[in-house]
Structure 1
Amino acid sequence: MFIASRGVATRLVFGAMSPFDYIDAHSDDLIELLQRSVRIPTVNPPGDHYDEITNLLAAELTSAGLKTRRFPVPRALLKQTLPADQHGYPRYNVLGKLAVRGAKKTVHFNAHYDVVPVSGDWKHGSPFSGAVDAGWIYGRGTADMKGSHAALLLALRALKATGTAPKMNVEVSFTADEETDSELGAGWLVKHAPIRPDYAIVMEGGEGNGICCGHNGVVWLNVTVHGKAAHGSRPDQGINALEKMSALVRSLDAYKRVLTKRTFTSPDGVVKTPTINVGGMFASGPGGKINTVPALASFSIDRRVLPVESVAAVERELRAFLRDAAKAIPQCRITVEKVSHNHPSFTSPDDPFFTAMAECVTQVRKQKGVFRTSYGFNDMHFFSHHLKIPTLGYGPGGDNCHAVDERASVRELVASAKIYARLLTTFAG
């Protein structure tokens, strides 16, 4: 009931509301916030509009009652880490903190704000429209993963508006560059920011009734095969790098057979093996011409690392296999360059933090929460591997991540907001 003024009426209604009632009543606020965020095209690479998005997110955290700082990554580190064509694109990370009287433990929520580049024809015209259609919000980043920002911010607003104190201290970080290697995002955060979490939630990797308790890691290599140029009419006078590369790639079939014998069983009973993807990127060298024997050829290797493996051991093994395989091919000379890696992550779901999250998912969704591991990787490992704390992945998710017509469900966004709010108000650590 509205009486006297909008402000008075609001206070009266809020006094009778639970955080979950507030979330239901303010789903339009969630939509509006996500639309504002999606309309800022934070495409990475190169790392566009980071200044604008981090100012927005910092302001929203402050409005929700958190003490907030925006950390610029030092320019020297940026130049040391990024390709030269990205040096003009500064990186920022946002950190908000809420200290709760009497709380002994701290939970950290993390999400990245960068998005992958766009292509193709989108249903609503611009890939950054934020258009709402039949219960879905469309736009690059709605599912991966700006929808998580909006869900958490609505949960925090709900706690503040209803005067409901969390049972733990709260840290929230919004970080850069997950769509490349996270080195200046979550990687920078765990090394340099003033955080002291006991638990972490990376707000992707799990959705619906599935809670992510781990993910694969990855080793990325680029292999260059060196040949010798010659005229196309006299291939006998050259060394064809493409032919040598083809033989080397074929030899990797034996490595694939080795990988099929290694397994990891996730808590939901799914048996996983390591995988290798060859040639996501491949190229000839400079000077290529149809009537020239190619002197250079290169290809990439994407080797997924199980939670029971280590990045260092996998890289050593793969390099050794490539070296031995090249030696077995006449006149095959190679160089191997490390592109990047990400560590795997796994925390046993027996931890009370995971039990509490499963109960929250079950209560909100009326469907039993289950624990899974992800085939891909995200920023969970920065918390589980580097900080050694229980870390899970959970968020609203969506459809068509990294594809045309990416979208997030309003219903799922609201449900995730309720799950975050329930965890904050029921689990004390």
Structure 2
Amino acid sequence: MTTTSGAATDGAHEGRIEGESLEFARGLIRIDSVNTGVTETTGNGEARAARFVAERLAEVGYEPEWFKPVPGRASIVARLRGTDPAAGALVVHAHLDVVPVDGQAWTHPPFGAETHDGILYGRGAVDMKGFAGTMLAVARALAREGRAPRRDLVFAFFADEEAGGRYGSRWIVAERPEVFAGATEALGEVGGFSLPLREGRRAYLVATGEKGSVSIDLVARGRAGHGSRPTPDNAVVALARAVTAVADHPFPIVRTPALDRFIGVLAREFGAGPVGDEALDGFLERLGPPGRLISAAARTTVSPTVLEGGVKRNVIPAEARAQLDIRTVPGHERTIAAELRAIVGNGIEVVERGSIPAIESPMEGELIELLQAAITGEDADGIIVPFQMPANTDNKALALLGIRGHGFTPLRLPNDFDAFGQFHAADEHVPVESLRFGGRVLWRVLRGS
């Protein structure tokens, strides 16, 4: 690619990054790229968002590559060549799709990208068009500067993350893996959000692992009949008992390396002694909403999400089914089905629908040191703290190629701001100053790569 002179000062670059981060985030939010999970009803919003990205990358000399597995669904990937071919490339990624807004009580237009009192509102403000805009701004700044980084940087803007990446990251990994040739590490969601520790001291979370996910159905069968004549083997009753048994089952805490590091750092910051399993949930409660996220990541969780059974009020059905959303600690995805069979007992069929294994990445090394240095450059007392994500991101698809993913989309936030609570919520929003901070940090990270 062709680059321009690097004579501009760091301050000028950072100022332009701050302005473009907000401009591009707002531009992307205004594009309705809702992913319904069904291609026929999703529309072409992702393709329009991809065009927005591609045009702005091309303006500064990139040659963005398009990936269109089906009409309306598109991803964009562009590479900035580094000076050291032997250094593993770094993938920086965001997704361009968002979840639906139907049935939610928004007080600001979800695709209006309005700003009020220093706050940007709109679907994707946090998840994750805000970071996509920041990525785009920093990629352009690197091209304008004209100074190549040490390692290749691969900027990926994916479709379909909100529905598992079938037409986004997973499609590219399966069909065009050469796009990520030489890549060894990745930065994407979810992490980088600040967490208050004590006066003037913040932790910035970095996801160094993601729990596995397993899809399982519970199926109860019985004798069909008229609703006026109760049967002893009513499938709905049997299913209800099974679902209750699963919901009441206490899955134990599993002390992964990421959890132990997280608890150790916070215990030192709070002046607390060792935190045992029995005291862990209480200890995490003092962190507020982020603490509940860490608590969920510390054990396998099972959430019944869909119940199916019966077609008419006065007909006892022969079958009833429950869909379970299961998030497993590393390794548990191989044994959870057998454990559920023991919990629900005889008479309930446990049907496995698929699984994605957990991933774990290093908590130490050059990249972590670089993230810490970038945070310190903008927040002198800020510290990087690893944690395990309880959900899936595009890092799981990249892991199939051996790329070690980290969740880091930096935002310095007000102490009472619940970043994780913004995901998929009505009136999703983010402070404008937090976006500016994120742009400065990402600039430091990628310029130092």
Fold match (TM-score > 0.5): yes
**In structure 2, what is the equivalent of residue 143 of structure 1?**
126
Give 1:325 shift.
5.2
User: Secondary structure, in 3 states, of the residue corresponding to 1:268?
Assistant: helix
**In structure 1, what is the equivalent of residue 240 of structure 2?**
246
Task: Work out which of the residue numbers 411, 425, 447 in structure 2 matches 1:403.
Answer: 425
**In structure 1, what is the equivalent of residue 31 of structure 2?**
40
Gaps of at least 5 residues in structure 2 are 195-203, 265-279, 281-296, 412-418
Q: How does 1:258-269 map to 2 (within 5 A)?
A: 259-260=251-252, 262-264=254-256, 265-269=259-263
Q: How does 1:8-47 map to 2 (within 5 A)?
A: 15-18=7-10, 20-25=11-16, 27-45=18-36, 46=38, 47=42
Gaps of at least 5 residues in structure 1 are 1-10, 76-88
Q: Kindly indicate whether the alpha-carbon contact (under 8 Å) linking 1:263 and 1:273 is maintained by their aligned counterparts in 2.
A: yes
Range that drifts further, 201-210 or 52-61: 201-210
Task: Work out which of the residue numbers 183, 186, 199 in structure 1 matches 2:185.
Answer: 199
**In structure 2, what is the equivalent of residue 185 of structure 1?**
168
Give distance in 1, aligned partners of 2:338 and 2:105: 44
Give distance in 2, aligned partners of 1:219 and 1:358: 34
**In structure 2, what is the equivalent of residue 352 of structure 1?**
366
**Residues 323/162 of structure 1: CA separation in 2 closer, same or farther (3 Å cut):** closer
**Residues 145/38 of structure 1: CA separation in 2 closer, same or farther (3 Å cut):** same
**In structure 1, what is the equivalent of residue 107 of structure 2?**
123
**In structure 2, what is the equivalent of residue 341 of structure 1?**
355
**In structure 2, what is the equivalent of residue 153 of structure 1?**
136
Q: Does 1:54 align with 2:50?
A: yes
**In structure 1, what is the equivalent of residue 403 of structure 2?**
389
Residue identity opposite 1:241 in structure 2: A
Q: How does 1:255-404 map to 2 (within 5 A)?
A: 256-257=249-250, 259-260=251-252, 262-264=254-256, 265-269=259-263, 273-285=298-310, 287-289=311-313, 291-306=314-329, 308-309=330-331, 311=333, 313=334, 317-324=335-342, 328=346, 332-334=347-349, 336-338=351-353, 340-373=354-387, 374-383=389-398, 385-396=399-410, 398=419, 400-404=422-426
**Residues 191/216 of structure 1: CA separation in 2 closer, same or farther (3 Å cut):** same
Structure with bigger gyration radius: 1
Q: Does 1:220 align with 2:215?
A: yes
Q: Kindly indicate whether the alpha-carbon contact (under 8 Å) linking 2:247 and 2:303 is maintained by their aligned counterparts in 1.
A: no
Instruction: Using structure 2 for the length normalisation, give the TM-score.
Output: 0.78
Give distance in 2, aligned partners of 1:170 and 1:221: 38
Give 1:66 shift.
2.3
Instruction: Using structure 1 for the length normalisation, give the TM-score.
Output: 0.82
Residue identity opposite 1:195 in structure 2: F
Q: Kindly indicate whether the alpha-carbon contact (under 8 Å) linking 1:65 and 1:98 is maintained by their aligned counterparts in 2.
A: no
**In structure 1, what is the equivalent of residue 74 of structure 2?**
92
Range that drifts further, 371-380 or 261-270: 261-270
Give distance in 2, aligned partners of 1:327 and 1:165: 61
Give 1:234 shift.
1.7
Q: Does 1:167 align with 2:150?
A: yes
Range that drifts further, 215-224 or 139-148: 215-224
User: Secondary structure, in 3 states, of the residue corresponding to 1:144?
Assistant: coil
> Once the two structures are aligned, what percentage of the paired residues are identical?
23
**Residues 424/30 of structure 1: CA separation in 2 closer, same or farther (3 Å cut):** closer
Paired residue total: 385
Residue identity opposite 2:81 in structure 1: A
